[in-house]
Amino acid sequence: MTDASAPPPDGAVLRTAGLAKTYGGRTPVEALRPLDLEVGPGETFGLLGPNGAGKTTLVKLLLGLVRPTAGEATLLGRPVSDADARREVGYLPEGHRFPPFLTGRETLDLFARVGGVDADRRARRAPALLDLVRLGGAADRKVGTYSKGMLQRLGIAQALMNRPRLVFLDEPTDGVDPVGRREIRELIETLRDDGVTVFLNSHLLSEVERVCTRVAILKDGALVREGTVDDLTRVGRAWRLLTTPLPPPTAEALGGVVDPDPAPRADGLALAHVVVPDRGALGAVLDRLRADGVDVEAVEPVRQSLEELFVEVVTHDDAPPRPGQRRGLEA
């Protein structure tokens, strides 16, 4: 078994080993089944899953807000129960609320004070953060007048007050319009460029797909997929080719492997799907095409969107329901 409290040889920012949580009560709920997970420095990691999958439970375990039933977790190489581990961690909770009668600047100051940030640091950091989240011009307006997007950006500023190396963002674009979402996405990209590790919990899969380098999908408390967005959205061993039209003997010879698209293209080129077991077999197909005088203009893997993958994974009912489990929209 892995030891999560060992110093991370690869510098993992977040690591779990057999981390599990069962909520007690008359009907115990296995909210998180034993989970081994690692997130490296500078990654933008997306945690996905349907309602009740165990995402919030995992985040709460990682923040030391609930105790695990089994296993262990470390943040920046320290056990999550160690207060020092959380000193360099920021957190934007889902559905956070700010007092409407405070200005943005006062809100930031208040939360930083409660979080133990000293006056000097608050005075230096607050204006820079307000600028970073593009609230410099609205810093002295009451937050009661802020839009949802501005409130979320203020929440992100609050989460960044202690210069975290790791920041948890729980549904940062919840209820935010497309323009506001883009601003938040750009902010996350800025954090990534600054080397901050971002752990993002979101139901907005198109946003996750655009911003995250790696994702994990939880279902019924279990990890069912994990990998880079690039790898996970690949559809089997399928490629799409753009070529000059195949001479009939070539098309016939490769008939079981190359499936030409019958729709003619205005540019005279032809599209085809290729399904082969591996890259070597793809290379052999391309060699054959070229040998037969076919120009291969483009080769790209066939992909599905993260949303399509997600729906496929969560509707494929291969995990047994847990006793007392809350499901879907009942959440």
Ligand X SMILES: Nc1ncnc2c1ncn2[C@@H]1O[C@H](COP(=O)(O)OP(=O)(O)OP(=O)(O)O)[C@@H](O)[C@H]1O
| Interacting residue ranges for ligand X, rule: CB under 6 A | 23, 25, 29, 31, 49, 51-57, 325-326, 331
Of 304 and 325, the one with the shorter C-beta distance to ligand X is 325
Output the smallest distance, CB 21 to ligand X, in A. Answer: 8
Of 56 and 197, the one with the shorter C-beta distance to ligand X is 56
Output the smallest distance, CB 309 to ligand X, in A. Answer: 17
Residues 6+ apart with CB under 8 A from 175: 148
Q: How far apart are CA 183 and CA 134, in angstroms?
A: 9
- Distances in Å between the Cα of 235 and the Cα atoms of 36, 46, 274, 308 are 25, 20, 12, 11
Output the smallest distance, CB 64 to ligand X, in A. Answer: 15
Residues 6+ apart with CB under 8 A from 243: 269, 270, 272, 289, 294, 295, 296, 297
Strand 70-75 and strand 78-79: the pairing is: antiparallel
Output the smallest distance, CB 53 to ligand X, in A. Answer: 4
Output the smallest distance, CB 50 to ligand X, in A. Answer: 7
Q: How far apart are CA 100 and CA 113, in angstroms?
A: 18
Of 24 and 195, the one with the shorter C-beta distance to ligand X is 24
Of 114 and 329, the one with the shorter C-beta distance to ligand X is 329
Output the smallest distance, CB 65 to ligand X, in A. Answer: 11
Output the smallest distance, CB 14 to ligand X, in A. Answer: 17
How is residue 301 written in tokens?
């893997």
Of 212 and 258, the one with the shorter C-beta distance to ligand X is 212
Of 218 and 289, the one with the shorter C-beta distance to ligand X is 218
Of 116 and 328, the one with the shorter C-beta distance to ligand X is 328
